[in-house]
Amino acid sequence: MSVVLFFAGLALLVMGAEILVRGASNLAGTLGISPLVVGLTVVAFSTSAPELAVSAKAALAGDAAMALGNVVGSNIFNVLFILGTSALIVPLTVSRQLIRLDVPIMVLLSGAVFAMGLDGNISFLDACLLLVSLVIYVWFSVWQARRSGAENVDMELPLSKRWSGMRSSLAVAAGLALLVLGSRWLVQGAVALAGALGVSEIVIGLTIVAAGTSLPEVVTSIVAALRGERDMAVGNVVGSNIFNVLGVLGLAGLLAPSGITVPVAVREFDMVVMIGAAVLCLPVFFSGGVISRREGALLLGLYVLYTAYVVLDASGHGGLWYM
């Protein structure tokens, strides 16, 4: 039953995210928000909605470890798997703004979360700081887009058609409703699976839940790459990672009764991998402003190695190692 619940929740999450992304993108167009801002904020944040729903639900249920694992695992998955897979399909072009601004911000935030967790807990104050930083980032992105005349950048969602304001609003509401229900089922199923398999919840969060909730990013980035919107494929990943740290982890920290406990093993390994993946973007992105197929293969190979290590460690002495 736990398996059925898990995959049913996952299906609702993907469906809800798809509806939410389309509704949010069309609503942004109706309101006159620039395509660049839509790509880096509305689209990226909407595709991170499953992470937000799952982590919030996990935090409220007292499973803060899964909320943390979901964010860290998703950020690793986004950079290594999604960018790697997308670049293998077609080399990805990286805009100057992403290289000069958003990627350095992603690296800085990864390091900041690591520093917050050095004392073993992401506190209520830390969470407030993350959410305030999210507001500042969104405001700055809008200001920067208007200042640089980014309205002419074509970053509209593939296959989306302009909807009316009412239809867009209803789609956003319906997508959010599916996300809430899907997150409840997925978390319940994941916790049950973790107990049945004898695997810690942090491992489930770092792998299965993280990959599952990142499916909207996978679909969006691959479709964008195939349709020639290569810059959007990269912007979606970078924006999603920024939102995961600031919005998802920030909200989970506010909802968790005693903050988010950061296990020693996560600080010493998984968070280090997350920072390493973010830092790896710098030389890759600066190499001519293109992520080549060779670089994509490197990213994807690193994700396979990371996942293999986590799974093998969990099946061996991982239950003790993550405590």
Distance separating alpha carbons of residues 115 and 83, to the nearest angstrom: 26
Residue 293 has pLDDT above 60, yes or no: yes
β-partners of residue 93 are 290
CATH topology of domain 2-321: A middle domain of Talin 1 (1.20.1420)
Burial of 297 (0-12, 13-18, 19+ CB in 10 A): middle
Distance separating alpha carbons of residues 288 and 294, to the nearest angstrom: 14
Determine what percent of the chain is predicted with pLDDT higher than 70.
76
pLDDT band at 131 (very low <50, low <70, confident <90, very high): very high
Residue 79 has pLDDT above 60, yes or no: yes
CB burial of 109-146 (b: ≥16 within 10 Å; e: otherwise) equals bbebbbebbeeebbebebbebbbebbeebbeebbebbe
Q: What is the pLDDT of residues 138-177, one digit of tens each?
A: 888 777 766 655 444 444 444 445 566 677 778 877 877 8
Say which residue, 210 or 239, is predicted with more confidence: 239
Indicate the pTM of the whole model.
Answer: 0.77
Q: What is the pLDDT of residues 221-245, one digit of tens each?
A: 777 777 676 666 788 788 889 999 9
* Domain map (residue ranges) of the chain: 2-321
| pLDDT score at 305 | 92
Mean local confidence (pLDDT), 12-20 = 75
